[in-house]
């Protein structure tokens, strides 16, 4: 397995050398464990890693190695037991709840394995959701044209223009993930955090999603941190961090 990784990581299409090496996000000695009854199960055991501006980083590891937990910590959805998470040089894991909400809303975009679209809302409304959360009713109403136009553009880019009024239940898996990506990009975030974005899709659909993500990374200089268990998918990123039992095994 590791040999396979080594060999694929040397694939010629990788462009990591070209990305600027500005540290954008970083973690210092991250520890996190989950409580199961009286037993504390350690998930992350001292993670030190950097995310550089504009890079496409993938974190690969087997189920239960803590890669999703790491992503949640990066996205301030969860708090570490010890260690820090930094964003643009500032510590973010100990910020008050309101600031973390703001970070998630404006600066991070998130996509998930199960897409996590709201079933009551249409595709367009799902994409508009971050704007709804960001704005007061009056503020949204004033800028509704701008937001609607942005959402339409994003849906056009993700080839969903014909699905604006459809509910998530009427979309295919690939379409739902593309809608989720459009939603994540709604408020022009600096970082896209992707949790197994292809985990629930067949190979060719997953390939489409990866293509979209690579395009976003290349053309819009969007920093992407992706978590996956699939080495083949992971290999398509600029850089791969391998996580084994809560520790970083290899990083290039």
Partner 1 sequence: MYKLLLCLRYLRTRYIALISIVSVTLGVATMIVVNSVMAGFTHEMQARLNGILGDLVFESRSMDGAPDAAAHMAKIREIAGDSIVGISPTVHVPSLMYIDVNGQLLTKQVTLVGIDPATYASVSQFGQYLQHPANRQQLNFQLRAGGYDTFDRQAVDTGQLIERTQMKTAGWPRRREMARQKQERRQLQQRLALDPSAQAGASNPFATDQPSGTDFDPATETHVGVVLGIGTCGYRAADGSDRFVALPGDDVRISFPKASLPPEAISEHYTIVDLYESKMSEYDSNFVFLPLANLQASRGMIDPETGIGKFTSIQIKLQPGADAAQVRDRLRNAFPAQYYQISTWRDKQGPLLAAVQMETAVLNVLLFMIIAVAGFGILAIFYMIVVEKTRDIGILKSLGASGYGVMGIFLVYGLSLGIVGAGAGLALGLAFESQINQIADLLGRVTGQPVFDPSVYYFYKIPTIVSPFTVSWICVGAISIAVLASVMPARRAARLHPVRALRYE
Residue selected from 8, 28, 45, 78 as contacting partner 1 according to rule CB under 8 A: 78
Task: Tell me how far CA of residue 66 lies from CA of 76, 105, 225, in angstroms.
Answer: 15, 24, 15
Which of 104-112, 155-163, 221-229, 237-245 is the region at the interface with partner 1 (rule: CB under 8 A)?
A: 104-112
Q: Quick check: 51 and 194 in contact, CB under 8 A? A: no
Nearest CA to 90 out of 187, 19, 44, 23 is that of 23
Mask 25-64, x = binds partner 1 (CB under 8 A)? Answer: ----------------------------------------
Interatomic CA distance for residues 103 and 70, integer angstroms: 17
* 96 belongs to the binding site for partner 1 (CB under 8 A): no
Nearer to partner 1, 51 or 184 (CB): 184
Q: In angstroms, what is the minimal distance from the CB of 186 to partner 1?
A: 9
* 188 belongs to the binding site for partner 1 (CB under 8 A): no
Q: Quick check: 160 and 182 in contact, CB under 8 A? A: yes
Q: Quick check: 156 and 185 in contact, CB under 8 A? A: no
User: Which residue stretches of the chain are H helix?
Assistant: 2-9, 67-74, 97-102, 123-134, 137-142, 144-157, 173-185, 203-219, 231-234
* 157 belongs to the binding site for partner 1 (CB under 8 A): no
Residue selected from 14, 67, 72, 150 as contacting partner 1 according to rule CB under 8 A: 72
* 95 belongs to the binding site for partner 1 (CB under 8 A): no
Task: Please tell me what DSSP assigns to residue 168.
Answer: G
Do strands 23-36 and 39-52 pair parallel, antiparallel, or not at all (unpaired)? antiparallel
* 150 belongs to the binding site for partner 1 (CB under 8 A): no
Residues in CB range of 166: below 8 A, 6 or more apart: 122, 123
φ/ψ of 93, rounded to 5, equals -75, -20
* 75 belongs to the binding site for partner 1 (CB under 8 A): yes
* 106 belongs to the binding site for partner 1 (CB under 8 A): yes
Nearer to partner 1, 137 or 204 (CB): 137
Nearer to partner 1, 140 or 232 (CB): 140
Question: Any idea which residue has 């593309």 for tokens?
Answer: 178
Nearer to partner 1, 104 or 242 (CB): 104
Mask 109-148, x = binds partner 1 (CB under 8 A)? Answer: -x-x---xxxxxx---x---xx-xxxxxx-xx--------
* 102 belongs to the binding site for partner 1 (CB under 8 A): yes
Radius of gyration of the chain measured on its C-alpha atoms? 18
Q: How many residues bind partner 1 (CB under 8 A)?
A: 33
* 164 belongs to the binding site for partner 1 (CB under 8 A): no
Q: In angstroms, what is the minimal distance from the CB of 121 to partner 1?
A: 7
Question: Any idea which residue has 């970082």 for tokens?
Answer: 191
Residues engaged in binding partner 1 (CB under 8 A): 69, 72, 75, 77-78, 97-98, 101-106, 110, 112, 116-121, 125, 129-130, 132-137, 139-140, 183
């Amino acid at each position: 397995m590791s040999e396979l990784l080594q060999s694929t990581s040397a694939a010629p299409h990788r462009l990591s050398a070209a990305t600027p090496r500005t540290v954008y996000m970083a973690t210092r000695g991250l520890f996190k464990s989950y409580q199961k009854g009286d037993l504390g199960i350690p998930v992350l055991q001292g993670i030190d890693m950097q995310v550089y501006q504009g890079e496409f980083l993938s974190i690969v590891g087997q189920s239960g190695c803590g890669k999703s937990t790491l992503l949640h910590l990066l996205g301030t959805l969860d708090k570490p037991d010890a260690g820090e998470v930094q964003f643009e040089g500032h510590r973010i894991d100990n910020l008050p709840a309101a600031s973390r909400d703001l970070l998630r809303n404006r600066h991070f975009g998130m996509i998930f394995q199960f897409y996590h679209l709201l079933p009551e809302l249409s595709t367009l409304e799902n994409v508009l959701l971050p704007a709804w959360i960001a704005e007061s009713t009056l503020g949204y109403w004033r800028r509704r044209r701008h937001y609607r136009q942005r959402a339409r553009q994003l849906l056009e880019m993700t080839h969903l223009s014909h699905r604006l009024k459809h509910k998530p239940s009427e979309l295919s898996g690939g379409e739902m993930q593309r809608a989720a990506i459009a939603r994540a990009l709604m408020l022009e975030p600096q970082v896209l955090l992707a949790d197994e974005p292809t985990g629930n899709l067949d190979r060719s659909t997953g390939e489409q999603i990866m293509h979209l993500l690579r395009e976003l990374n290349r053309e819009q200089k969007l920093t992407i941190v992706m978590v996956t268990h699939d080495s083949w998918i992971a290999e398509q990123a600029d850089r791969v961090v391998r996580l084994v039992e809560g520790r970083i095994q290899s990083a290039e």
